[in-house]
Amino acid sequence: MNAVTANRYTDAWRTFFTPLRPRAAIVISAHWYVGGTRVTVQAQPRTVHDFVSSKGALDRFDYPAPGDVALAHRVRDLLAPTPVTLDERWGYDHGAWVVLAHAFPNADVPVIELSLDRTQPPAFHYALTRALDPLRDEGVVLIGSGNIIHNLEIGRGPGSDAPMDWAPRFAADVHRRLERGDHAGLIAYDRLGRDAQLAVPTPDHYLPFLSILGAQRDGERLTTIVDGDRGAYDLGMLSFAIQ
């Protein structure tokens, strides 16, 4: 419901993005997790309602920002030799528009989406965005939309009322590693023990984090837009920026 309601997370996103006037945005969303690297290439992407319908406001939500065909081609060229498919079918999935609706509420910043290749290991996603570095000097902002903690399964079954003390522990571990620049440890999250296994049971929501981390230049600062501390909860909301 972050798209249609205001809360401390969406307020923080809005405050952070308002002074920025990027020429365009590239969004890497947890919800475009497919068997290859793809980039949206439409002049006017559709709004994708990729969730179980609630017949409510989310189903009617439309994010009418234009795409950027030239930027999509540029991304494909920069990512070579990684094969990139120019995709005319996907659009803005809810991982993208939930954030975009607050980052650029007037929908006046062209946006393209870059998929996550689920066949590739975490290190691939970390390395891929480094190739997009020249675009950052051309006014293009990279946005990763996912969750460092995302385990909705564990909240469903019998015994789901057990304390999720692993969530704040893992969040603190991620914070510590970010502060000391331990990217290698964050890439190899599957070796960080059971807290990490519970926080990142599948890679999809975690990989956008690595994609953005991979774009960090030497000496760049990492700032927290809003901390994700929700206590012992199965979904983390940490948002950070690299500038």
Partner 1 sequence: MIAAAALADELADLEAIFDDALATVMPNPVALRFSDLPLDFQGKRDLVFALALLAEGENEAALIAGLAHDALVRDPAFDVAHLVREAWYYVRTSIDPNWQFDDPPASFGPALTYVGTLLRERVAAATRPAKTPSDEPGADARRALLARLR
Per-residue binding string, partner 1, 118-137, x by CB under 8 A, is: xx-xx---------------
- By CB under 8 A, residue 243 contacts partner 1: no
Distance of alpha carbon 207 from alpha carbon 32, whole angstroms: 11
- Residue 39: what are its φ and ψ, rounded to 5°? -140, 135
Distance of alpha carbon 139 from alpha carbon 162, whole angstroms: 46
With contacts defined by CB under 8 A, name the span among 20-28, 55-63, 64-72, 194-202 that binds partner 1. Answer: 194-202
**Near partner 1 in 70-129, by CB under 8 A:** 118-119, 121-122
Sheet holding 24-34, edge to edge: 84-87, 37-40, 111-117, 24-34, 140-145
- By CB under 8 A, residue 186 contacts partner 1: no
Distance of alpha carbon 127 from alpha carbon 163, whole angstroms: 36
For residue 144, the tally of other CB atoms under 10 A from its CB is: 27
Smallest gap, in angstroms, from Cβ of residue 131 to partner 1? 20
User: Contact with partner 1 (CB under 8 A): which of 19, 80, 137, 157?
Assistant: 157
What stretches of the chain adopt beta strand conformation (E)? Answer: 24-34, 37-40, 84-87, 111-117, 140-145, 222-226, 239-242
The nearer residue to partner 1, 181 or 193, going by C-beta atoms, is 193
User: Contact with partner 1 (CB under 8 A): which of 59, 153, 165, 220?
Assistant: 153
**Residue 33 DSSP code:** E
Smallest gap, in angstroms, from Cβ of residue 28 to partner 1? 18
Smallest gap, in angstroms, from Cβ of residue 158 to partner 1? 7
- By CB under 8 A, residue 160 contacts partner 1: yes
In the complex, the residues that contact partner 1 under the rule CB under 8 A are 35, 118-119, 121-122, 151, 153-160, 190, 194, 197-198, 201-203
